[in-house]
Structure 1
Amino acid sequence: MDQRSNVLIVEDDAGIRQSLFETLTALRFVVGEADNGEEALMRLRMIDYDAVLLDINMPGMGGIETCRRIHHSYPHIPIIMLTVRDEEDDKVEALDAGADDYVTKPFQIRELTARLRSIIRRSKTSGVPSDSPIVVGSLMLDPDRRRVEKMGQEVHLTPKEFEMLRYLMEHAGRPVPHSRLLIAIWGLQYGNEREYLRVLINQLRKKIEDDPAHPTYILTDSYIGYRFREA
């Protein structure tokens, strides 16, 4: 990844904004700043950014509405929301508004920069045709042949298991909310039937994990949904 990636920080707390600016600049990011959603949208019209760090709680245009507008106008720019710990509803709402990931406050800077580099890397390689094989660790999923292999050995999946695994692997490294996963696999009339997910996820883990009780591929994001491990 280009170590001089442009990142826009949108944060109304001047102290946090300054700390992030200094830290990310030292890590060789080119950093822009905005203290509200309106200024963020103005800066995005003038400068090409590779990612946006967006605080969820801001006066005026809130973080969720800002996220929604950025995602609508600049869908190629990944967004990481900065959220307050344990506000799970806010996290789900942010993901539904178009955020690619979230980091809870207080956060470790190593976690934040790892997430930043990850989403920028993914955004720059997202032009891979959707029918190309997806490889994560020892797993390979071939959408065209509808075939899954682990360490070269075929894994037999039901149609729903295959679609679930495909969706998660296509979004590797990103949190996928329960409702989005239900709609993607079962259709628009679904969204609250989490027991469907639990059953299917358990079945998948038994087939692809070395130890289904301690999964390393399909990870649980508590109260949010699931996250397939980083590609």
Structure 2
Amino acid sequence: MTQKILIVDDEISIVTLLTYNMEQAGYETDYAYDGLEAIKKARAIHFDLIILDLMLPEMDGMEVCKYLRENHIQTPILMLTAKEDEIDKILGLELGADDYITKPFSPKEVVARTKAIIRRADQSRKSTQGSLKIGDLFIYPERYEAEMNNEIITFTRKEFELLHYLANHLGNVLSRDQLLSAVWNYDFTGDTRIVDVHVSHLREKIEPDSKHPSYIKTIRGLGYKMEEPK
């Protein structure tokens, strides 16, 4: 089945450029010129990836990303923006975007990132078979959810993928660079804050006391380790 991409940008020239290059790479495409239209299409149609501009009319890219993740639409998102501010990059990834590219861009790079994100999502789906139990935490990969004390816990895609990776490497110390490479599949050189932010969010959701974590431990100077609570 041909994989389908939703291109969201208010510049017709950008949509035309990306549509041409995506179709040349073998993808089927659809498009939206504002945030509300993007949400409507993302809810109604299955896409393998959304290329989402940050600066949009009606509803900006950050709001679109947040809305989709809060409504459990886990379609991978490649954020596209003219902004170079580091805080926008971190915020976009924190809200659930899978990657980030800055205008002006090379269409070949966008295609390469698209292939990498979709490949990563496919691998993640194949590897998330079977539930896991760690302490009182039950992890359900097929649902991107966990359960503790009979309460369902929901996550953004990246929060869950980080949790699942830590759980699958129970007892192992994992560096921030290892986690960036494994979960985000992209080299954010020198910037590991996104890992710390996501670990903080996970602790708020799964730890009985997030200030004294019993599941995800910080190993000072090395990284993080998930372990059975004592």
TM-score under structure 1 length normalisation: 0.63
The structure-2 alpha-carbon separation of the partners of 1:181 and 1:52, relative to structure 1 and needing over 3 Å to count, comes to: same
SS at match of 1:80: strand
Aligned to 2:174: 162
Determine what percentage of the aligned residue pairs are the same residue: 29
Letter paired with 1:143: H
Q: Give me the whole-angstrom Cα distance separating, in 2, the residues matched to 1:165 and 1:20.
A: 31
Pick the aligned partner of 1:18 from 16, 19, 24: 16
State whether structure 2 residue 89 is matched by structure 1 residue 91: yes
Q: Give me the whole-angstrom Cα distance separating, in 2, the residues matched to 1:31 and 1:198.
A: 46
The structure-2 alpha-carbon separation of the partners of 1:114 and 1:199, relative to structure 1 and needing over 3 Å to count, comes to: same
Q: Give me the whole-angstrom Cα distance separating, in 2, the residues matched to 1:163 and 1:71.
A: 27
Q: Give me the whole-angstrom Cα distance separating, in 1, the residues matched to 2:40 and 2:185.
A: 30
Number of matched pairs: 171
Cα deviation, residue 98, structure 1: 1.0
Q: Which runs of 4+ in 1 moved over 6 A?
A: none
Q: Which runs of 5+ in 2 are unaligned?
A: 133-167, 205-209, 212-217, 224-230
- Provide Cα deviations, 1:8-27, integer angstroms capped at 9, x if missing partner: 00100111111111221122
Q: Give me the whole-angstrom Cα distance separating, in 2, the residues matched to 1:15 and 1:44.
A: 22
Aligned to 2:31: 33
The structure-2 alpha-carbon separation of the partners of 1:172 and 1:37, relative to structure 1 and needing over 3 Å to count, comes to: closer
The alignment's C-alpha RMSD in Å is 3.2
Q: Which runs of 5+ in 1 are unaligned?
A: 132-141, 148-160, 191-195, 202-231
- Provide Cα deviations, 1:155-183, integer angstroms capped at 9, x if missing partner: xxxxxx43646634540514676444225
Q: Give me the whole-angstrom Cα distance separating, in 2, the residues matched to 1:7 and 1:21.
A: 9
The structure-2 alpha-carbon separation of the partners of 1:180 and 1:75, relative to structure 1 and needing over 3 Å to count, comes to: farther
Aligned to 2:44: 46
Q: Give me the whole-angstrom Cα distance separating, in 2, the residues matched to 1:50 and 1:74.
A: 15
The structure-2 alpha-carbon separation of the partners of 1:29 and 1:165, relative to structure 1 and needing over 3 Å to count, comes to: same
Aligned to 2:105: 107
The structure-2 alpha-carbon separation of the partners of 1:172 and 1:12, relative to structure 1 and needing over 3 Å to count, comes to: closer
